[in-house]
Chains A and B, each alone.
Chain A
Amino acid sequence: MARLLAFLLLVSAGLWAHAKEAAPAAADPALEHRVMTLAAELRCLVCQNQTIADSNAPLAEDLRNQVRERMRQGASDSEIIDFMVARYGDFVLYRPPVKATTLLLWFGPLLLVVAGLLVLLRRLRRRPAPEPELTTAERERARKLLTESEAEPR
């Protein structure tokens, strides 16, 4: 009787487990890894500082599903990126492409460093190290110290 009960329990547990919709993640770990890797490169347009891999916004979920679906259909990563850019623009890319409009974004920091270096160089050149001027009292003291050290050799 107890055995039968345990059996029934197990079977029903199994049924219950199957009744739950399979999470998409469990279906194909390799595919899911690819989805999430690409999703980490795409910006969620709702929460703009998150990738669609991080974001729980419904749109991010939809976009992840799009990525997954397209990968299942055999699309390459760059095809999917093109698909997203065609709809949402370069903004969807977490790493914006180098273009005429993004030159300042990419090289602005370098420009600032170069500008800083130029200012620094100009300053250094314009202000040569001043010759140390000694007062007569100091000269006298220096002379005294020098002769003293000569007087007692080690």
Chain B
Amino acid sequence: MNRFVLPLAIFAALIALLAAGLTLNPREVPSPLIGKPAPHFELPQLDQAAKTFTEKDMLGRVWMLNVWASWCVTCREEHPVLLDLAKSGAVPLYGLNYKDKREDGLAWLKSMGDPYQLSIYDVEGKVGIDYGVYGVPETYVIDKRGVIRYKRIGALTPEIVKDKVLPLVQELGRG
């Protein structure tokens, strides 16, 4: 009987390890950008190509940058959450329209509602690369000193907003 105990224990440990592995999301790669200054950009705005916006405009404020595109299916799912967040006025939300057509992006905002203070237009996706974007939608919380404090890859859900984003924004707003 005793000789089965050890193999069984090893087997159970292996199963536990694999089970834990199943609950993890391999797409959630830890970003090296957390705790680092938000990469610099200066991009034209989506609705006014002549006007630019840069992350420096936001120094001194806690804000959120949300990467989106009209071709992105998950963004459609996320959109109501963003609209609610914008309505609550808890944190200014800025959009990064990623590798999209300008008219498609504008049409999307028109038909679905616009939660953003403004969106910037990154047609080549270069700012996306600087921000380590690989799975739209992605969302960043940036503090008053312009440091990235949180990154979400994939859609924001009401739970994440309530449990992670809003407490963090409040904490950063006090500091």
Shortest B38–chain A CB gap in Å is 12
A85 vs B31: C-alpha distance when bound (angstroms) = 10
In the complex, identify which listed stretch (A26-34, A55-63, A127-135, A136-144) lies at the interface while the others stay far away: A55-63
Q: Would you give 11 A-B contacts (Cβ < 8 Å), ordered by A?
A: A48-B27, A58-B99, A58-B125, A59-B125, A66-B126, A87-B130, A88-B134, A89-B32, A89-B132, A90-B32, A91-B30
Any chain B CB within 8 A of the CB of A45? yes
A57 vs B69: C-alpha distance when bound (angstroms) = 16
Chain B contacts of A46 at CB under 8 A? Answer: 134-135
Any chain A CB within 8 A of the CB of B33? yes
Shortest B69–chain A CB gap in Å is 11
Nearest CB in chain A to that of B36: its residue: A86
Instruction: Give the contacts of A70-102 with B (CB-CB under 8 A).
Output: 85-91
A63 vs B124: C-alpha distance when bound (angstroms) = 11
Total A-B pairs, Cβ < 8 A: 39
Kindly supply a per-residue 1/0 record for chain B positions 105-145, scoring 1 wherever the CB is within 8 Å of any chain A CB and 0 otherwise: 00000000000000000001110111110110000000000
Q: Which of A45, A87, A89 touches B131 (beta carbons < 8 Å)?
A: A87
Q: Which of A59, A85, A86, A90 touches B134 (beta carbons < 8 Å)?
A: A59
Q: Which of B26, B99, B125, B132 touches A88 (beta carbons < 8 Å)?
A: B132
Kindly supply a per-residue 1/0 record for chain A positions 32-63, scoring 1 wherever the CB is within 8 Å of any chain B CB and 0 otherwise: 00000000000001101000000000110011
With A58-B99, A62-B129, A66-B129 already in contact, the answer to whether A88 and B135 are too (CB < 8 A) is no
* Range class of the B interface residue count: 10 to 19
A82 vs B102: C-alpha distance when bound (angstroms) = 32
With A58-B99, A62-B125 already in contact, the answer to whether A45 and B29 are too (CB < 8 A) is yes
Kindly supply a per-residue 1/0 record for chain B positions 31-57, scoring 1 wherever the CB is within 8 Å of any chain A CB and 0 otherwise: 111000000000000000000000000
Chain A contacts of B135 at CB under 8 A? Answer: 45-46
The answer to whether B129 touches A48 (Cβ under 8 A) is no
Q: Interface residues, chain B, CB within 8 Å of chain A?
A: 26-27, 29-33, 99, 124-126, 128-132, 134-135
Chain B contacts of A58 at CB under 8 A? Answer: 99, 125
Q: Interface residues, chain A, CB within 8 Å of chain B?
A: 45-46, 48, 58-59, 62-63, 66, 85-91
The answer to whether A87 touches B125 (Cβ under 8 A) is no
Shortest B79–chain A CB gap in Å is 22
Shortest B27–chain A CB gap in Å is 8
Nearest CB in chain A to that of B32: its residue: A89
Shortest A81–chain B CB gap in Å is 13
The answer to whether A88 touches B29 (Cβ under 8 A) is yes
Nearest CB in chain A to that of B31: its residue: A89
The answer to whether B26 touches A48 (Cβ under 8 A) is yes
9 nearest CB pairs, A to B = A45-B134, A87-B132, A89-B32, A91-B29, A88-B132, A62-B125, A59-B134, A46-B134, A89-B29
A63 vs B32: C-alpha distance when bound (angstroms) = 17
Chain B contacts of A90 at CB under 8 A? Answer: 32
